[in-house]
Chain A
Amino acid sequence: MTSWKKESQNKQEGYEVDRKVISGLIKKALNEVEGIYAVKRGLWGERIKIEFLEEGIGIFLELVIKEGNAIPQLVEETQKKVKQEVQRVLDKPVAKINIKIKGIKHTS
């Protein structure tokens, strides 16, 4: 699963990118999506999981969304925004963005 090692990336490109950086980019992209309320928080922090796969970066998010949005469209918009932001900054392919909706927040 995690065959795209940081070490090999180091040798080839002379730098490595910490998961926290990718996580920050994801949060920045999520802030730009109107219908997202928050990233779901777990016992060990926000539920953002990043994996380095053969095909690129794999992102797994658990989100709480605002009510009133069509969920499939909102998820697709979020996936597009996150993918664009990560690829633009890191110039690395994003293989997949899996999103789990954990809550729908009533916002008056």
Chain B
Amino acid sequence: MIIFKRILWGIIVVALALLSLAGFFISLEIIPRFAILGALTALEQQLLTKGIFICLFGFLFVLSIALPLLAREKRGGAVVSLKNPLGEMEISQKAICGFIQRIGKGVEGVEDIKADIKLAEEGVDVYLTLSAQGQGEIPRLIDELQTVVKNYLNNTVGIENVREVKVKVAKIL
């Protein structure tokens, strides 16, 4: 599925690049306008080529609308899914990451933090990227942060299998 999406993204990027390049060259008159008009008129005259081009541009248009929507859905997609006799519950990744960032900022020595969550079969992996204050001890800070995030995911969100909380210190202020 990921490879299929990558191919579609590749098609749309290449198409956009070619169209932009064509527009650029036509504006600079490197490609003469009458040549484009002539080519378009020739296309119009043959039903088969006309049909092919309608399908091609229609496909590109649908892709240009669908791909950003799919990407948006993935960003806000459900990460935790639990079931009870009354129904199902899902918590969006965006909601959890936003809240992890908020509780992370509450840890002493953390200046700024970004969180990401990846759902694996055996559990959940959390990736934190932080800017830390210079006067704090980094190992203690990381340890505290991992404990706080793990406890939050266990007790508040209901994720029992937090596999690991990876912390990357990107900046020390």
Contact = CB atoms under 8 A, between A and B. Distances in A.
State the main secondary structure of chain B at its contact with A: mixed
Given A101-B95, A102-B95, A106-B102, A70 B89 contact: no
Contacts of A103: 92, 94-95, 98
B46 interface: no
A19 interface: no
Contact of A79 (B76, B84, B96): B84
Interface stretch (B18-26, B29-37, B154-162): B154-162
B99 interface: yes
| A80, A98, A101, A103 pick with most chain B CB within 10 angstroms | A101
Contacts of A97: 86-87
A21 to B, nearest CB: 20
Given A102-B95, A104-B95, A96 B87 contact: yes
A106 B86 CA distance: 27
Contacts of A106: 102
Interface string A92-108: 00001111111110100
A67 interface: yes
A79 B91 contact: no
Interface residues of A, number: 21
A83 B86 contact: yes
A71 B91 contact: yes
A74 B99 CA distance: 16
B14 interface: no
Contacts of B76: 102
Contact of B89 (A67, A80, A83, A98): A98
A97 B83 CA distance: 10
Contact of A71 (B84, B102, B158): B158
Given A71-B158, A72-B82, A72-B158, A101 B88 contact: no
Contact of A98 (B88, B95, B157): B88
Interface of B: 76, 78, 82, 84, 86-92, 94-96, 98-99, 102, 155-158
3 shortest interchain CB distances as A-B pairs = A79-B86, A72-B158, A96-B87
30 contacts: A67-B99, A67-B102, A69-B156, A70-B155, A70-B156, A71-B156, A72-B89, A72-B158, A75-B84, A75-B89, A76-B84, A79-B84, A80-B86, A83-B86, A96-B86, A96-B87, A96-B88, A97-B86, A97-B87, A98-B89, A99-B90, A100-B78, A101-B89, A101-B90, A101-B92, A102-B95, A103-B92, A103-B94, A103-B95, A104-B99
